[in-house]
Chains A and B, each alone.
Chain A
Amino acid sequence: MELLYQNAWLIPVLPLAGAMIVGLGLLSFSQLTTSLRQAVAIFIVSLLGTTMVLSFGLLWSQWHGHPPYLQTFEWAAAGNFHLEMGYIIDPLTTLMLVIVTTVAFLVMIYSDGYMAHDRGYVRFFAYLSLFSSSMLGLVVSPNLVQIYIFWELVGMCSYLLVGFWFDRKPAAEAAQKAFVVNRVGDFGLLLGILGLYWATNSFEFGVIGDRLQELIASGSLSVGLASLFAILVFLGPVAKSAQFPLHVWLPDAMEGPTPISALIHAATMVAAGVFLIARMFPVFEGLPGVMNVIAWTGAFTAFLGASIAMTQNDIKKGLAYSTISQLGYMVMAMGVGAYSAGLFHLMTHAYFKAMLFLGSGSVIHGMEAVVGHDPALAQDMRMMGGLRRYMPITALTFLVGCLAISGIPPFAGFWSKDEILNSAFSANPALWVMGWSTAGITAFYMFRMYFSTFEGKFRGNETALRQELKAGSETLAPVFGPGAMNPQELTMADPHHDEDDAHHASQPHESPLTMTLPLLLLAVPSVAIGFTGVPYANNFEAFIHPAGEVVEHAAEFDWTEFLIMAGSSVGIALIGITLASLMYLRGQIDPSAIAQKFQPLYQFSLHKWYFDDVYHNVFVRGCRRLARQVLEVDFNVVDGVVNLAGLAAVLTGETFKYFENGRAQFYALVIFGAVLAFVVISV
C-alpha cells in the first residue's frame, strides 16, 4: 500500500506526459500524428485509465482509515524563504481524484464518437489530457501556492478548449471572456494568499487557520482584516465556480465542444471553487462574517441561475445556468458549515450533470444530421421535440438526470440536496426559503427541457421556424456595436446553406455506442451514489469531514423531521414538474401567453438579468476608453515633450555653436568645472 502512496505523483504526471508526447508530435510530425487519430485516443485514454485505477486504490485505502500522506520537495528558495511543493493524499483528495478521473475517462470515450469527424480530433485529446493533468494536480495540492498554480492551469485549459473551434468568432470571444473573468477572481485569490501569508507566514491550510485564530485571539490581527483576506481568497472560487457577480463567463463557455462542457464546465473545473472552499475551511470556519458572505452568495447564485435557466431556448445554455444554480447550492452549503453536504452534492452533481451535458451533446449530434453544423439551430430546443422515438437511450438517461437534479427520491440528487436544505434551515430559514424555491424552479426548467426536447412531435424540419431562428440568432449575436446589420442580408448571402440541406437526413439518429455507453455508465451513479450518504447511515460524512473535527454520530435519527423536510422539497419539485408537463407536454397552459403577461419579468430572465450588457458597457468599454486615453497622453504629452526638447536642442545648438572656438583646454575647463561643482555641492 505504501508503494501506492509513494507513486501517487504519477496521477497528475501520466496525463501530462500523454499531452506532451502528443503535443510534440503535433508540432514536429503533424501529418503523421494527425493521421493516427484513434491510436492517439487509445494511448491517452489508457493513461487516464491507469490514473483512474490508482485513484480508486487510494480511495479504497483512505476509506479503510489509512492516515493522510504528505510528500513535498523544496521548489523555490531565496535566503530563508522556502516554498515546498508536493502532494497530499487525504479523504477529500481521493474523493476528488475519483470524481475527476471517472468523469474524464467517460468523457474521453464519448469524445471519440462526438469528435469523430472533426479535423482537430488529435489536438482535442491532447488538450483533454492536459486538462486532466492540471485538474488532478489541483486536487492533490498541499498548499495555497500550488493550488494557485494549477488553478491558473485549469483556467488555461478551459481557455484553449472553449476556443477549440477557433475559426468561430463567438468561440474566440467566449474563450477570452472566460480567461479574463477568471483572472479577476485570481486577482482576489492572489491578494488573499499574499495577505494570509503576510499575517501567518504560511501557505498551508491548517497552519493558516490555526495561526489566524491565535492572532485574532491575541489581538494582533483584527477580525475585519482577517475576514478581508478570506473574502479575497473567496473571490477565486466566485470566478471559478461561476458565482454572482462573476458568473457571466460560464454560459458563454458553452461555445466549446460539448464533451468539454460536460467535463470542465459542469463536473470538474467549476467544482474546483467548492473544493478550494473545502480546503480553506479551517480558515473560513473561524470567521462568521465570511461564512455569511459565502452562504448568501451561494443562495443568491442558486436562485439567479435557476431564474435564468427557465427561459433559455439553447439546450446547452439552459444546462449552463442550471450548473451555476447547482454550484450555488454547494457554495451555500459550505457557507452554512455543511462541509460534507456540499461535497456530497459536488459528487452527485458531477455525475448527473456530466450525464445531462453528454446527453445534450448526443441530442445536438443527432440534430446536426438534420439541420447541419449550425449551433443556432442544432442547439435550439424549439427545433427539437419527439426525439425519444429516434434516440431512446439518450432520452432515458436524460430523464434519469432530470429526476436526479430535481431531487426526486431515490435518485442521487435528492439525498445531497436534501442534506443541504436541512443544514440551511438550521442555519437560517431565509436561506432555506431561497434554496427551497430554487428547487421548485429547478424541477420546472429541467422538465421543460426534457419535454420540449424528447416529447411531442419533431419540429426540426419546419423550414419557416428554421429561418426565423437563424435570423433571430444573427440579430442577437452581435448585440453591441456597429456589427448588427439587416439579418435578411446574411441569410440571403449564404447560398451554401440550402445546398447543404439537401444532403441532410430528415430524421435525427441515435448516437454511436462510444457515446451512449458513457451515458449509460453515468446513469448508474446518478441513480445509486446517493445511498452512500443517506441521513440515517451517513457513510459519506464519516469519510469526508473537516480536518480535525470528529463527527458526532447522531444517536437518534429523527424520522419526523426528515420526512417534513424531505416532503416539502419533494413537494415543490413535483409542483415544478407538473407545471412543466402542463405547459410543454399537454399544452394546457400556453407558455407564450404567460410570457406576454409578465413581459418585463420574461425579458429580464431571457436577457440574463442584463448582466452582460451592463458589464460590457461599464467594464469592457470603460477599459477600452481608458486605454485609448492613456495612449493619447503617452503619444501627445510624454512623447510630445521629448520631441519638443529635440526642437529646443536644435535651437539652442544653433545659438551655442558660436561658443565653439576649437580650444581643447576650454572644453576641459568646462567639464572640470562641472565635476567640481558636483563634488562641492554634495560634500
Chain B
Amino acid sequence: MNIADFPWLTFTILFPLAASALIPLIPDKEGKGRPIRWYALVIGLIDFAVIVYAFYTQYDFANPELQLVERYSWIPQLGLNWSVAADGLSMPLILLTGFITTLATLAAWPVTFKPRLFYFLILAMYGGQIAVFAVQDMLVFFLAWELELIPVYLLLAIWGGYKRQYAATKFILYTAGSSLFILLAALAMAFYGGGPVTFDMRSLALKDYSLTFQLLAYGGFLFAYGVKLPIIPFHTWLPDAHGEATAPVHMLLAGILLKMGGYALIRMNVEMLPDAHAYFAPALAILGVVNIIYAALTSFAQRSLKRKIAYSSISHMGFVLLGIASFTNLGLSGAVLQMVSHGLIGASLFFLVGATYDRTHTLILEEMGGVGQKMPKIFSMWTTCSLASLALPGMSGFVAELMVFVGFATSDAYNSTFKVIVIFLAAVGVILTPIYLLSMLREIFYGEENKELTAHEALIDAEPREIFIIACLLVPIIGIGLYPKMLTQVYDAKTVAIVARIRQSVPTLVARAPAHQEFAQAEVVYRAPAIAQK
C-alpha cells in the first residue's frame, strides 16, 4: 500500500479510541493501575509518533490548501461524510494535541484512584481532540466537539477537588448549552439558499450568504467559541473547572481545550463568514483588550494558585482575539502562534501547580512562603515557566505577543485613534502580567521558610519524571522563542490566504494593495548604501 493513500488522520483519531476499549482487559494485580498507565503512555507515544511521521512525510508547508484529505460517505441520506484533512491552521494544533496529551498521561503518574476509567477517558479525549481539529464536516465537527465534553465532565466530576460537582456541572452546562448554537448555525448554513444540502466546510465557505444571515450565524458561533476560549463575560466556568481539576486534566484544559475555541473562531467565523467578520472585528479587538486587562487584574487579586493561573490563561487568550481582529498576516500569524505557545506554557504552569500541591497540600498563597529553600529545582522550573508566561524574549510567548502587537499596529483596517487606544491598553497588560506572576513567585518561594508549612509537610524536591515533563515543554517554548520561523513557516501560507480573503470583505481595503508592498520594495534600496556588508 502506498503511504500516501494510508488514512493517516483517521488512524490517529481512531487508534486511541480503539485502544481505550481494550483497557478493561489489561491485568492489574496490584490494583494501582501501573500496567494501565504504561499502556496509555505507550499508546499516546505511538499515536504522537504517527502524527509526526504523517506530517513529516505527507505535509507540504507551502501549500495553503487542505492536505492529507480523506473522505468517506458516512450517512448518505443526511449528506453526512466522514471527511478529515489538515491545513496550516489545524496541523500545528494537531501536533500540539498529540504532544500535550502524551505528556499529560505521563503527568498523571500519581493518579491511583480508578485508574482504568481515568486512562480510558484520557485516551478517549486524545482521539476526540484530534477529531475536532481535523474534521472538515460541520456536523461531524459538532459531534466531536460534544463528544470531547463528556470525558472532561467525568474527569472533573470524579477526580476533581472539593467543589468538583459544582465545577463539572457548570462546565457541562456552559459548554453544552453554548454549543447548541454551533448546531443551529451549522444547520442553517447547510440549508441556506436551497440546492443540495451539504455539511462540508469547504462547500459551505464557498456559498454566497446574505449579510444578515452571516451576522446571525457569526453571532451564534462567536457565543459558542467565546465560551470555550473564553471571552469575558462567558468565562466563569473556567476558574471553577480549573480550580477543581487535577494536574493532567488541567494540562489538557489549558493546553488544548481552550485552543479549540480559537481554532474554531478562525476556521468558521473568519474563514467562512468573512463579511460578518469585517463587522465583528472591532468588537473582537475590544473584547481582547478586556480579556487581557480584566483577567490580569483578577489574577492579581486571587489568593488561590490554581485560580490565579486560570485567570492568567484568560488574559493570554486576549492576544488571540486581537490577532484575529487585526486583518494583517502578522497579526493572524501571531494569534496562531499565541495559541500554540500558550498551549505549551499553560500546560507547564498547570503541571507545576499540581506538582506544588502534591507537596504543600495547599493552594492558598498565604499558607506557603519560603519553600524555595527545600525545593530549588521546583523553584527554578517555576521561575522559568513564569518568565515564559510573562512573555520574556527568547521564549515563544514573547514572539506571539510581539507579532500581534506589530500586526495590530500596522493594520490599515482601523483608524489611528482606535488602534492607539487598543494597543495602549493591551500594552498595560504587559505591565500587569509580571506584577501578578512575580508576586506569586515571591509569595511561594522567597523569604523565610514558613514554619507552619514545613512543620507538617515534607517538601521533597522535583523527581526526574517531573523535570523531564517540564524539559519536554521547555524545548519547544525556547526553540520557538529563539527561532520563531521554525513554527511560523509551517502555517504561513494558510494565514496569508485567510487574510487575503478577509481583506476583500472590507471595502476600504480592497482598493489598496496589501500593506507595505511598496515599503518592502523600498527597504532593499534603502539598506544597500546604509551599511556596507562585507
A residues lining the B interface (CB < 8 Å): 2, 5, 26-28, 30, 67-71, 74-82, 88, 145, 148-150, 152-153, 156, 159-160, 163, 166-169, 171-173, 175-176, 179-180, 183-184, 186-187, 190-191, 194-195, 197-198, 201-202, 204, 206-207, 210, 623-624, 626-628, 630-631, 634, 638-639, 641-642, 646, 674-675, 678-679, 681-683
Contacts and interface: CB of A to CB of B under 8 A. Distances in A.
Given A179-B438, A207-B530, A678-B188, A172 B447 contact: yes
Contacts of B439: 176
B424 A628 contact: no
Nearest to B192: A679
Given A190-B430, A197-B410, A627-B297, A678 B534 contact: no
A159 B441 CA distance: 12
Given A631-B301, A634-B298, A173 B517 contact: no
B516 A630 contact: no
A170 to B, nearest CB: 9
Contacts of A628: 301
Nearest to A195: B409
10 contacts: A28-B467, A75-B483, A78-B332, A78-B334, A159-B438, A166-B373, A204-B530, A628-B301, A631-B298, A682-B212
Interface string B511-534: 000101101100100110011111
Contacts of B216: 678, 681-682
B434 interface: yes
A34 B516 CA distance: 53
B11 interface: no
A190 B377 contact: no
Given A150-B393, A201-B523, A167 B434 contact: no
A26 B393 CA distance: 23
B488 A76 contact: yes
Contacts of A626: 297
B406 A80 contact: no
Contacts of B405: 190, 194
User: Closest 7 interchain pairs by CB?
Assistant: A79-B329, A172-B446, A682-B213, A149-B393, A78-B333, A631-B301, A627-B301
Nearest to B387: A156
A681 B211 CA distance: 12
Interface residues of B, number: 89
Contacts of A638: 232-233, 235-236
Interface in B428-478: 428, 430-431, 434-435, 438-439, 442, 445-449, 467
B483 to A, nearest CB: 7
A683 to B, nearest CB: 6
Which of A76, A148, A204 gathers the greatest number of chain B CB atoms within 10 Å? A76
Nearest to B294: A630
Contact of B191 (A82, A166, A194, A679): A679
Contacts, number: 210
A179 B441 CA distance: 13
Contacts of B496: 78-79
B519 A201 contact: yes
Nearest to B517: A80
A3 to B, nearest CB: 12
Contacts of A175: 438, 442, 446
Interface string B169-195: 010011000000000100110011000
B372 interface: yes
Interface stretch (B76-84, B261-269, B396-404): B396-404
A167 B370 contact: yes
A634 B236 contact: yes
Given A79-B329, A194-B406, A167 B484 contact: no
A654 B532 CA distance: 80
A630 B217 CA distance: 32
Contacts of A145: 402
Contacts of B46: none
Interface string B354-388: 00000000000000001011001101100100010
A674 B184 contact: yes
Nearest to B447: A169
Contacts of A186: 430
B492 interface: yes
A201 B516 contact: yes
Given A187-B430, A638-B235, 6 more contacts: A74-B485, A79-B328, A81-B406, A187-B428, A197-B406, A197-B410
B409 A30 contact: no
B372 A167 contact: yes
A184 B392 CA distance: 14
Given A78-B330, A679-B192, A166 B445 contact: yes
A627 B298 contact: yes
B129 interface: no
Nearest to B467: A27
A682 B495 CA distance: 29
A163 B298 contact: no
B394 interface: yes
A290 to B, nearest CB: 19
